[in-house]
C-alpha cells in the first residue's frame, strides 16, 4: 500500500513579496522620479484619463496646480477600487505643453510626492495637441495592482 499523498499547497506570498517592485537592469543609470519597469501580481485597478478638475468641473490655473488636483483625483479613484498609491505600477501623462512640464520639475515633484509619497512607478510623458476638456493642461492614466 502506498503512503497517502500530501497535497501541495502553494505558499501565500508575504505582503512585501507581493508588492510591486521596480525593474532596473544592471548597469543602467538609476532613473529619477520613475522606474524603467514594474513587476507585480494581483488584482488590476485602472483609471481612465484623469484631469485636474474639482468636483464642480473647475480647473485651477497652471500645470502644477492641475497636476496636484489630478493626483488627488487619481488617489480617490484608486481608493474606490481598494488600491493605494504604493500599488501604482504605471502612469501615462498626456500634457499639452512639454516645455511647461520640463520647466517645473521641482514643483511637479513636490505635488507628486504630496499625493503618492516616494513611490515611483513606470511612467511615460507624451505631448498632445489638445485634450477633450479644453481647459485641461494634462491628463493622466494610472494602473495599479493590488496583491491578492
**CB within 8 Å of 51: residues ≥ 6 apart:** 59, 66, 70, 73, 131, 133, 136, 138, 139
Flag whether pLDDT at 138 surpasses 80: yes
- CATH class given for the domain over 60-148: alpha beta
pLDDT value, residue 9: 43
Q: Domain coordinates of the chain in residue numbers? A: 60-148
pLDDT band at 33 (very low <50, low <70, confident <90, very high): confident
45-78 pLDDT, tens per residue?
Answer: 999 999 999 999 999 999 999 999 999 999 999 9
pLDDT of residue 19 exceeding 90: no
In percent, the amount of the chain with pLDDT more than 70 equals 88
Q: What percent of the chain has pLDDT over 90?
A: 72
pLDDT attached to residue 53: 96
Q: What is the reported pLDDT for 13?
A: 47
Amino acid at each position: 500500500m502506498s503512503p497517502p499523498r500530501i497535497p501541495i499547497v502553494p505558499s501565500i506570498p508575504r505582503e512585501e513579496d507581493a508588492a510591486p517592485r521596480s525593474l532596473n537592469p544592471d548597469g543602467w543609470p538609476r532613473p529619477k522620479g520613475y522606474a524603467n519597469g514594474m513587476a507585480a501580481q494581483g488584482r488590476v485597478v485602472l483609471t481612465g484619463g484623469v484631469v485636474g478638475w474639482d468636483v464642480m468641473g473647475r480647473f485651477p490655473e497652471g500645470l502644477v496646480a492641475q497636476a496636484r488636483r489630478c493626483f488627488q483625483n487619481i488617489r480617490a479613484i484608486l481608493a474606490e477600487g481598494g488600491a493605494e498609491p504604493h500599488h501604482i505600477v504605471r502612469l501615462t501623462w498626456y500634457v499639452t505643453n512639454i516645455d511647461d512640464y520640463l520647466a517645473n520639475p521641482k514643483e511637479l515633484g513636490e505635488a507628486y510626492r504630496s499625493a503618492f509619497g516616494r513611490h515611483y512607478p513606470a511612467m511615460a510623458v507624451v505631448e498632445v495637441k489638445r485634450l477633450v476638456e479644453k481647459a485641461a493642461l494634462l491628463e493622466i492614466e494610472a494602473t495599479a495592482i493590488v496583491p491578492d
